[in-house]
Amino acid sequence: MNALDALAASTTVVVDTADLDLVSRWKARDATTNPSLILKAARDPRFAPLLRRAQQSADGAPDEERMDRLLVDFGMAILERVPGRVSTEVDARLSFDTAATVARARRLIALYAAQGVARERVLIKIASTWEGIAAARQLQLDGIACNLTLLFSFAQARACAAARVQLISPFVGRITDWHRQQAGAAWDDAATRGPADPGVRALLRIWRHYKQNGVATEVMGASFRNVDQIAALAGCDLLTIAPALLDALAASDRAVPRVLDPAHPGPVEDAVPATIAEAAFRAELAADRMASDKLEEGIRLFAADTQALLQLLRD
């Protein structure tokens, strides 16, 4: 048994890519995409037919509508290769607009439905701003499952729990990146690996709080930088992993025992309600420089890749 097989014994492994060949290779249950991954795949000559189809579709339609068609076309191709769900992201430029996010999410679901895809097979990805979480609350009530992304803080996780979203994606690697950058030359790589990794600790805090409070929202670790981060979270509900790290796991014979057990989540770390009001959310997020920095950066980068994808469609 290799390390990937050992991990899969306790955790649902999700492939984090829009490269259709790699989705086929790994045969994961689910797959996740984001604007950066879609842009990379759309630029690949192997997938030029999908790009051309979106460019030629709905003649005279706004660019954003053609982009949504491209996202769904990639999602459809992915669903042909996985038995479970695909995550498709709403335009990151709408991260602070609840009504616009809801409208775009419904359009994405309608495009999937027009091709015969049941709602249960699609997760709508939305940035974990207060406005994004409010949009997810509405969508969940309409039966549209959401994946709240760009999640870096306990405050965001509590707000998502209150909104009863289907799934959250704490960004383990990006949390650690911030702490490493802040530490500079003082960063001790050996002392901050595995269970001591800042991103691992952040996800574990959220996961324990959810399990201790009976929160049904799924926790899916994302944005990993190394195998140690992944192994330290074996037993998490899901982990979405880039192909390069899936390769590393498959090539390794290291033991990956279950670390997180929902039946025994560990000691209570945060004796606070799972809910959080808007004022407290904004105050806690503002006080957490790592979370506010990384949330703003993530939205900015995804918005830039969205602009690049729109230009690709125009060209």
* Catalytic residue IDs: 125
Domain boundaries, the chain: 3-314
pLDDT of 167: 98
Q: How do residues 181-219 score in pLDDT, each as one tens digit?
A: 999 999 999 999 999 999 999 999 999 999 999 999 999
Residue 215 sits at φ, ψ, to 5 deg, of: -75, 125
pLDDT of 59: 66
End-to-end CA distance of the chain: 47
133: number of Cβ within 10 Å: 28
Q: In whole angstroms, what separates CA 142 from the centre of its chain? A: 21
d(CA 300, CA 281): 21
Residue 272 sits at φ, ψ, to 5 deg, of: -130, 160
Tell me which CATH code domain 3-314 carries: 3.20.20.70
pLDDT of 106: 98
d(CA 45, CA 65): 22
Confidence (pTM):
0.96
- Lowest-confidence segment of 21-25, 134-138, 252-256, 311-315 by average pLDDT: 311-315
Rounded to an integer, the average pLDDT of 265-275 is: 77
pLDDT of 252: 97
HSE-CB at 162 with a 13 A cutoff on CA atoms is 19
Which of the four pLDDT bands, split at 50, 70 and 90, describes residue 274? Answer: low
The yes-or-no verdict on residue 266 having pLDDT over 90 is no
- The mean pLDDT value of the chain amounts to 96
